[in-house]
Amino acid sequence: MVMRLILLTSAALLLQATTNAISGETACEHKSLDKIQCVAVGCCEYSEGKCFSATDGECVKKTVKTIPTYAPGKHTPTWVKGEGSYSSCALTTTVFNVPICATSKAAKSTIQLNHIAQITLQLLDNDNDGKADDTKVVQKMLDGDYFLHVPFDEEDKEEAPNLGTGQVTGVWEAVPKSCDVPSFRGADNKDRSTWMKARTNTPGNTGCKKERDATVEEVLHLITTAAGELWPDKWGPVKTSAAGKAAYLANGNCGWGYDNTIKKPINGITPACVGVYSYSDKTCTEDCIVVEAIYWSSVSYIGGLFTNDRAKSVSNEWLMTVPNLNMKLAVLSDDKNAKTLEEGSPALFKLVSDTTGEQHKWLPATMPDGIYTVSGSGGGLAPSGGFGSDSSGSRMASDIVTVFVVAVTMVVLL
């Protein structure tokens, strides 16, 4: 039996074991396990105050994945060759233990790959304290084998890992230093009062890139999926959830492509309908409409669409690129249906502007800029094979723990 010790920031010691298969009876019974310890084994059941085997055969190991934290300082990803379930990936890294898988062609695009990883880190830790903002959402992602798959372009057909829940975010649509980020167009990411004056700096003399960075959208879609599974009544990708009702209400009478009710155009001086959100794409059905609405409204709220250029480029689908009512003067006059998010969809505004409440902590409060730097005392140790620290932060071997029996005191058996 080979055992490996893993250091966690809580200073607890856990074990990762590779061993010959054992029976359920051996793994579960006559060990004085309490209910939590019993269930954690993965092949046991707890009944009448005792732990029993739930299988007549071999014990199936249960994998527990824990959420790491990051030390103070600037962090850059460490990419390694994919192994195990991710052996199809030319390169992989992890962000809070959520894997990112790059294809062979994408593996050469270091700048874009690092950008994707940094954006993911900033969306999961938007306040940059080294800790995941919503541990329930991140744990859901880990338990459900969520991952990001990064192809080079739309013609890159290299297969994604065949497990869990994956989301594509491509090299071709990753744009570092996009003008979508307030700070790159001369404003402050957190000071909303600076956004109005900077909305035409695309690029102006700022040097930012006019192209939209789709990385934020794709990563946020993956996180939204986890939130929807955790809290389906609020974030579920159906028209009956709170987010779904708000999304469909924002459509007004403009209709959708998927059910052939679409009225076009939604934008311009003489629109064919009254509404602020619509999709003509026939492949964007109910679930897509809800998830996209959460993305559009969230990024609108954090200033990621607050430029004249972006307002024009997305107006065939979304007409609420200006977040707050007190910014109404920035709404483009050549789109009759255009409104601020707060005015056009009070329900969506209320949902995404709460970024600290229960079931809302996963939502970003500031637009990620692709530069993840942990401030203050940080959270602790950065994992190897994931993100290393440019400061004095240490590295942690791994946070994936295979559990047979959880003992009250950790003992290494050789």
In the predicted model, residues of the chain with pLDDT beneath 50 are: 1-20, 383-384, 389-414
Dihedral sign for Cα atoms in the order 244, 247, 253, 255: negative
For residue 229 the two structure tokens come to: 């599974």
3-state secondary structure of 79: coil
- Tokens 């500031």 correspond to 366
pLDDT at position 46, please? 87
Give the pLDDT score at 14.
Answer: 28
Structure tokens at 268: 């311009």
What pLDDT score was predicted for residue 3? 28
Per DSSP, the three-state class of 99 is: strand
Q: In the prediction, which pLDDT does 4 show?
A: 25
Torsions phi, psi for 373 (to 5 deg): -130, 120
**Structure tokens given for 231:** 């809290």
Q: Is the pTM of this model over 0.95?
A: no
> Is the peptide bond prior to 176 cis by the omega test (within 30 degrees of 0)?
no
Q: What is the pLDDT of residue 214?
A: 98
Close Cβ partners of 21 (under 8 Å, ≥ 6 residues apart): 58, 59
164-194: pLDDT as tens digits: 999 999 999 999 999 999 999 999 999 999 9
326-364 pLDDT, tens digit per residue, is 999 999 999 999 999 999 999 999 999 999 999 999 999
Q: Specify the pLDDT at position 37.
A: 78
Cis peptide before 271 (omega within 30 of 0): no
Question: How many other CB atoms are found less than 10 A from the CB of residue 314?
Answer: 17
252 Cβ contact partners less than 8 Å away, ≥ 6 residues apart: 273, 274, 275, 276
pLDDT tens digits along 361-384: 999 999 999 999 999 766 655 544
Beta bridge partners of 14: 6
The domain spans of the chain are 2-66+394-403, 189-211+231-356
Q: What pLDDT, in 10s, does the model give residues 268-299?
A: 999 999 999 999 999 999 999 999 999 999 99
